Chain A
Amino acid sequence: MKLGLVIDLDTCVGCHACATACKEWNASSRVSGALSDYEPFGAEPSGVWFNRVRHYEVGEYPANKTINFPMSCLHCEDADCVTVCPTGASYKRDDGIVLVDQDKCMGCNLCAWACPYGARELDEATGTMKKCTLCVDRVYDKMLPPEDRQPACVLACPTHARLFGDFDDPQSEVSRVTAERGGFALMPELGLKPVNRYLPPRQPKPVMGDDEARRLLDRGLASLASPVIRR
């Protein structure tokens, strides 16, 4: 098994619902303990999150686009955060999920340094490392109806930009959509074999692409030049 997420950058609207749903579910999780907040109602609120959404602009106008970019643990196949851990607190399960045993962690931060993606955050209140659990306490819970046995972030997403599944199964939805849409891994050159895949935005017919912009630019230049240049 190789459990992981697919994140569709085409449909993600950057609403942070996945991040807050994650925080809500995992704040009372028994897998990782609380996700501590520091000064939640103070002037400079901060705290532990498993999932953070960042926003980028790619390209130059008019061929530019806003990319909303949620990031959580990519549950790497060759997870360096696990191999560098001196206490054995970090471990990878047979189903691919990378977890931290909160009873063993000594809070040395080395796993966070070894993770290129910033998936791990130290909880100052407990002194231990926290990270995405892929909602291991939801996805195997037989008390939940089958359709709810998914990570909280996936269930919360209003645009269905997140999918959960087994990448080892070529028939699974995550495997199929990754193949169809050219799903890619983040910084594969670092060699950690991240499992999660990101789907690039679809390429629509440009509303105002290069040609249109060039035409407008030419017309603008012509109107500027006309009073001065005799044709």
Chain B
Amino acid sequence: MKPALSIVFFTVSSGAGLGLLAWITLIDLFASEALSPQVQWRAATLGLVLLAAGLASSVLHLAKPQNAWRALSRFRTSWLSREAILATVLFPVAATYIVLTAARSGGAWRSFLAVATCLLAWAVLFATAMIYASLKPIRQWRTPWTPANYLLLGHWSGALLLATIVVAYDAAPRMLLALALLVGVAALAAKLTYWASIGEKAAGARTAPTLERAIGVPAGVHGPGPMTVAQARLLDAGHSHGTFLTNEFGFELARQHARFLRGAALALGFGVPLAWLLLGAPYWQVGLGAAACGIIGLLAERWLFFAEARHTVRLYHGDRRT
């Protein structure tokens, strides 16, 4: 799949924002003394801003954005519609929660809004992931590891940003650093498992559709006589230059680039920030650098998520398998 930068930025930015909102509200509900209200409302505002930036970026991907409002209409079947609706509901809920937190008022109402914000943040993250995980033609996406990755990576980047903010304003509670560390390791494990599950030796790759199956060789599409070698190859794609299909689905990622980017995603997305947390999160300036590394690493990870996905249309353009 062509890695569209607008969507890569959208999912990373909104993922971090949603993770941040989930952490703030969870800590508020279960360990209300851990963070000062200043940190709480500032971090939550950053979360909402990141989500807004992501959604704005996603609109750039639309070829006809003036119809974007219609995306609120098909929530019964479409995960993209569900995501749009949930995000739209999240904004006023989270904004009210932030205002009440900053004003140090609200009482039980504020707790209710915290619960609602947290649940909505989880729902939006999950809906974003399901947009990809529900696509049958792309085996690299149609796996439970896709939602697992989106949820964990969102919470990992959110925890990282929160740790940086907390270190900048207050002394960071050990509990928070330990939580961030834990989620980081879990997200790393989920990403490595995802990569293993889409590899060429994984079970999914062995049962993936082939060019032969795509054009019906098992159903009898072959030459005269008994079939000895049932191999098919593309002679001519029927077009002289690129089409929408080759543009959108024909993206080819060189093996060495994939290796380099995976290394960069691991080192920047996990290595540097985890090291900072392990050292006890010294200096907020270093934390800012670690968080920036983390986000850049996740941008590389998300770019790969698209670049390594192989749509079945590629079979009809001559790929032997997906």
Rounded to whole angstroms, the CA-CA distance of A106 and B60 in the bound complex is 11
Nearest B-chain residue to A39, judged by Cβ = B241
Rounded to whole angstroms, the CA-CA distance of A23 and B136 in the bound complex is 29
Let me know if A52 and B227 touch, CB within 8 A: no
Let me know if A88 and B73 touch, CB within 8 A: yes
CB distance from A76 to the nearest CB of B (A): 11
CB distance from B14 to the nearest CB of A (A): 16
| Beyond known contacts A106-B68, A107-B67, A190-B137: 13 more, CB 8 A cutoff | A63-B226, A65-B223, A85-B78, A86-B81, A106-B65, A107-B62, A114-B137, A115-B313, A116-B311, A118-B249, A187-B209, A189-B213, A200-B216
List A contacts of B316 (CB < 8 A): 54, 69, 71, 117-118
Rounded to whole angstroms, the CA-CA distance of A128 and B232 in the bound complex is 34
- Whether A66 sits at the interface, judged by CB under 8 Å, is yes
Let me know if A54 and B224 touch, CB within 8 A: no
Residues A44 and B224 in contact in the complex (CB < 8 Å), given A71-B316, A106-B71 = no
List A contacts of B235 (CB < 8 A): 55-57, 66
List A contacts of B71 (CB < 8 A): 86-87, 106, 108
List B contacts of A85 (CB < 8 A): 74, 78
- Whether B243 sits at the interface, judged by CB under 8 Å, is yes
Let me know if A116 and B313 touch, CB within 8 A: yes
Rounded to whole angstroms, the CA-CA distance of A46 and B248 in the bound complex is 14
Q: Inter-chain contact count A-B, CB under 8 Å?
A: 223
Q: Which of B62, B224, B229, B236 contacts A209 (CB 8 A)?
A: B224
| Chain B facing A: main interface SS | loop
CB distance from A44 to the nearest CB of B (A): 4
CB distance from B8 to the nearest CB of A (A): 14
CB distance from A213 to the nearest CB of B (A): 9
List A contacts of B312 (CB < 8 A): 116-117, 187, 190
Interface string of B295-322 (1 = CB under 8 A from A): 0000000000000000111001100000
30 contacts between A and B (CB under 8 A): A9-B221, A44-B241, A45-B241, A52-B239, A55-B236, A56-B232, A58-B215, A59-B227, A59-B231, A63-B226, A65-B222, A66-B235, A84-B131, A84-B134, A86-B80, A87-B73, A89-B67, A106-B62, A106-B63, A110-B80, A114-B134, A114-B135, A118-B316, A121-B243, A126-B64, A182-B220, A201-B220, A201-B222, A206-B225, A210-B228
- Whether A220 sits at the interface, judged by CB under 8 Å, is no
CB distance from A203 to the nearest CB of B (A): 6
- Whether B175 sits at the interface, judged by CB under 8 Å, is no
- Whether B89 sits at the interface, judged by CB under 8 Å, is no
Rounded to whole angstroms, the CA-CA distance of A178 and B98 in the bound complex is 63
Let me know if A56 and B234 touch, CB within 8 A: yes
- Whether B48 sits at the interface, judged by CB under 8 Å, is no
Let me know if B63 and A63 touch, CB within 8 A: no
Q: Which B213-265 residues have C-beta < 8 A from chain A? A: 213-217, 219-245, 248-249
List A contacts of B238 (CB < 8 A): 16, 19, 52-55
Residue positions of A touching B, CB distance < 8 A: 9, 16, 19, 44-46, 48-49, 52-60, 62-67, 69, 71, 80, 82-89, 104-110, 112-118, 121-122, 124, 126-128, 182, 184, 186-187, 189-192, 198, 200-201, 203-207, 209-210
- Whether B84 sits at the interface, judged by CB under 8 Å, is yes
List B contacts of A124 (CB < 8 A): 63
Q: Which B118-139 residues have C-beta < 8 A from chain A? A: 131, 134-138
CB distance from A91 to the nearest CB of B (A): 10
List B contacts of A127 (CB < 8 A): 62-64
Let me know if B74 and A88 touch, CB within 8 A: yes
- Whether B188 sits at the interface, judged by CB under 8 Å, is no
Residues A63 and B219 in contact in the complex (CB < 8 Å), given A58-B232, A187-B214 = no
Let me know if B74 and A60 touch, CB within 8 A: no
Rounded to whole angstroms, the CA-CA distance of A192 and B313 in the bound complex is 15
Let me know if B216 and A186 touch, CB within 8 A: yes
List A contacts of B80 (CB < 8 A): 84, 86, 108, 110
Residues A128 and B244 in contact in the complex (CB < 8 Å), given A55-B238, A80-B136, A206-B224 = no
